[in-house]
Structure 1
Amino acid sequence: MDFLSLFVMDFVQQLQSPTLAFLIGGMIIAALGSELVIPESICTIIVFMLLTKIGLTGGIAIRNSNLADMVLPMICAVVVGILVVFIARYTLAKLPKVKVVDAIATGGLFGAVSGSTMAAGLTVLEEQKVPFEAWAGALYPFMDIPALVTAIVVANIYLNKKKLKAAQAHLTEEEYLSKQEYLSNQGAANNRVKIWPIIEESLRGPALSAMLLGLALGIFTRPESVYKGFYDPAFRGLLSILMLVMGMEAWSRLGELRKVAQWYVVYSVAAPFVHGLIAFGLGMIAHYVAGFSMGGVVILAVIASSSSDISGPPTLRAGIPSANPSAYIGASTAIGTPIAIGLCIPFFVGLAQAIGGL
């Protein structure tokens, strides 16, 4: 009973965080029909500054840290990114009225990382004075890129096999026997999806570009003065504006889910918790084996519960053009992101506190 009451108290306390309050406030004013509009150009600048700051933080920390300490958490991040795609492939894709290629794309987007959710998680931990490795934010690309690459590869393999079966279905038995070897060779050739262009597309995305820029500057230069004088003081204020925008956008995206199967709603609610719990479990292994902090475990769980809202959608649009954006973007933006920020962040902080790790 003490465990449950402690968890509930911590959970409620986390929901009162200013970061989460702005998200909820954005959803409320959008539901009330507010005409408030924040220009896209301003949001782009805010996202760039937030992710650059996270990159600078991680880069400065990496420069002053033992790289060996990062290896196991990075492996955990890669495993989670890949695993999330296969979870969607063999759960969501099996549900009624859900197209396999749409399910794979949804898994890719939920396996990729939301920079805004990660920023919100880092802020909540700082507000609660929870210690964590400053380089924990640098786990972002180790989960984000493998998830997007895996989704595109799995989707293309599925589509090519589907085309191959369709071609075989139109052949007579004699034609099939004579061309079976040819079709097999063609299928094998088509299934070879080029990995590097997918990685390159992800790296060029605005979110990863900003964060990797900050990471490189933090590692190879001495940006402490501009970091302390500009990026760090502005971080929380800018994040509050972004949370307000995301709340309004989440409400507006709810209509897109009406165009697809209702199972996407169920998936969008459950997936952030399931993915986060998997990452939390792997993070606990890194905690006991490599001394990864409990705050770092929470960050790993938070980025696993998030779904990409910036770099993921254009990458998947290009890599899986046959997938329905209303399905995977609607599921992510309308439900997945609010669940990750509003519920998963306090959930995993509360869980870590309840088991005595914080």
Structure 2
Amino acid sequence: MQSFLDPAILFFVFGLLAGALRSNLEIPPQIARFLSLYLLMALGLKGGFALHQSGLTMDVAVSLGCALLLATVVPLLGYHLLKRVLSGYDAAAIAATYGSVSAVTFITAVQYLDNHNVAYGGHMAAAMALMESPAIIMAVLLANMVRQREKEQSLAAESRTVRNTPLSRILHESVTDGAQLVLLGAMVIGIVTGQSGHDAMQPFAGDLFKGMLAFFLLDMGLNAARSMSGLKGKSPWLLAYGLVGPLVHASLALGLCVLLDIPAGNGALLVVLAASASYIAVPAVVRHAIPEANPSLYIGMSLGVTFPFNILVGIPLYVGVAQRVLG
């Protein structure tokens, strides 16, 4: 209940209610984009300052390796499950969405840990960045396999063939994505400048962070409420996956954390990352990389179902379980 009294979470709930009431309240897209970049820059700086103090240790390497493993396993599991009830293209797109991560969910979890005085490593921001791209690459490869299979089975392939998306193009877009570059660039700047940079950027990266997050979550609440309409009439299995999938992915991450003896704070963030689903970076790539997939499915599920669940219920649950199991 304490998490619901957090102003940022209450602004998200307010946005949900305003969206459900079909209010004309909206945050201009340019401002929402700025808020997103600000949050990522502030998070990158915080991570860089923390890494400057701690340095690169074995614990850092283990956490980053675990993040990469999860970013590979989760989309593969999702695809093989979803293709039983969906087309190969939709299965690949949704698997990519749930195999990648939500930066806003991660940032909200970081704020939650700060509010509850739970220690975590600054390198976890790098873990989030590493988990962004593998699922996208795998989804494109899977979609290309589906196209090839259809081409071989079709008698009229010439009229229906869609050219495979070059992997080099996807790699370039994944690596040069603006949001990810801001995060990594800010982290490097934080590492280089250290304590002097921390002191200079404190009002920007520290004092303003909470208010900016609340403003951004208001916008996310509005978008989440409007995305839910895209799921009307869809299979209940999709709704079930949007709620149960994150719990399964979180359990996988927790098991890895226990196996690798990852500390509670870092483990909680890995669990949150594994349970989150992308609704910005992945849809932007998938829209043109897998045009055969239905955007209302992968965007509606991630933003309309999984994101609200994680913000309102998931984060307190994941952190509480991680503290109990790993702490």
The verdict on a shared fold, with TM-score over 0.5 as the criterion, is yes
Kindly report which structure 2 residues correspond to 1:317-332, keeping only aligned pairs within 5 A, or say none: 317-332=287-302
Partner of 2:51: 62
Question: Percent identity over the alignment?
Answer: 30
Change in Cα spacing, 1:169 to 1:215, as seen in structure 2 (3 Å) is closer
Partner of 1:36: 25
Kindly report which structure 2 residues correspond to 1:130-141, keeping only aligned pairs within 5 A, or say none: 130-141=118-129
The Cα shift of 1:259 comes to 5.9
Task: Indicate which of 75, 79, 82 corresponds to 2:65.
Answer: 75
State the distance in 2 between where 1:260 and 1:327 align.
Answer: 8
Aligned letter for 2:178?
A: P
State the distance in 1 between where 2:21 and 2:172 align.
Answer: 42
User: Are 1:150 and 2:141 counterparts?
Assistant: no
Kindly report which structure 2 residues correspond to 1:55-134, keeping only aligned pairs within 5 A, or say none: 55-64=44-53, 65-95=55-85, 98-134=86-122
- For the Cα contact (< 8 Å) 2:263–2:326, is it kept in 1? no
State the distance in 1 between where 2:17 and 2:303 align.
Answer: 16
The Cα shift of 1:18 comes to 2.9
| Aligned-CA RMSD value | 2.2
Change in Cα spacing, 1:220 to 1:194, as seen in structure 2 (3 Å) is farther
In structure 2, list runs of 5 or more residues that go unmatched: none
Kindly report which structure 2 residues correspond to 1:1-358, keeping only aligned pairs within 5 A, or say none: 12-64=1-53, 65-95=55-85, 98-167=86-155, 194-222=166-194, 223-258=197-232, 260-286=234-260, 288=261, 292-355=262-325, 357=327
Aligned letter for 2:311?
A: I
- For the Cα contact (< 8 Å) 2:254–2:322, is it kept in 1? no
- For the Cα contact (< 8 Å) 1:207–1:310, is it kept in 2? no
Secondary structure of the 1:113 match is coil
Deviates more, 1:18-27 or 1:220-229: 220-229
State the distance in 1 between where 2:131 and 2:5 align.
Answer: 29
- For the Cα contact (< 8 Å) 1:118–1:302, is it kept in 2? yes
The Cα shift of 1:252 comes to 0.6
Deviates more, 1:150-159 or 1:327-336: 150-159
- For the Cα contact (< 8 Å) 2:137–2:170, is it kept in 1? yes
Partner of 1:175: none
State the distance in 2 between where 1:115 and 1:336 align.
Answer: 13
The Cα shift of 1:339 comes to 1.2
The Cα shift of 1:216 comes to 2.2
Aligned letter for 2:190?
A: G
Secondary structure of the 2:125 match is helix
Secondary structure of the 1:38 match is coil
Q: Kindly tell me the number of residue pairs found equivalent between the two proteins.
A: 320
The Cα shift of 1:126 comes to 0.3
- For the Cα contact (< 8 Å) 1:114–1:303, is it kept in 2? yes
State the distance in 2 between where 1:29 and 1:233 align.
Answer: 27
Deviates more, 1:240-249 or 1:310-319: 310-319
Aligned letter for 2:52?
A: R
The Cα shift of 1:196 comes to 3.6
The Cα shift of 1:14 comes to 3.2
The Cα shift of 1:201 comes to 0.5
The structure with the largest alpha-carbon Rg is 1
Secondary structure of the 2:71 match is helix
State the distance in 1 between where 2:178 and 2:157 align.
Answer: 44
The Cα shift of 1:194 comes to 4.6
The Cα shift of 1:67 comes to 3.9
Change in Cα spacing, 1:60 to 1:90, as seen in structure 2 (3 Å) is same
State the distance in 1 between where 2:288 and 2:187 align.
Answer: 26
The Cα shift of 1:149 comes to 1.0
Aligned letter for 1:232?
A: G
- For the Cα contact (< 8 Å) 1:92–1:263, is it kept in 2? no
In structure 1, list runs of 5 or more residues that go unmatched: 1-11, 171-189
Secondary structure of the 2:226 match is helix
The Cα shift of 1:356 comes to 6.7
The Cα shift of 1:125 comes to 0.4
- For the Cα contact (< 8 Å) 2:48–2:123, is it kept in 1? yes
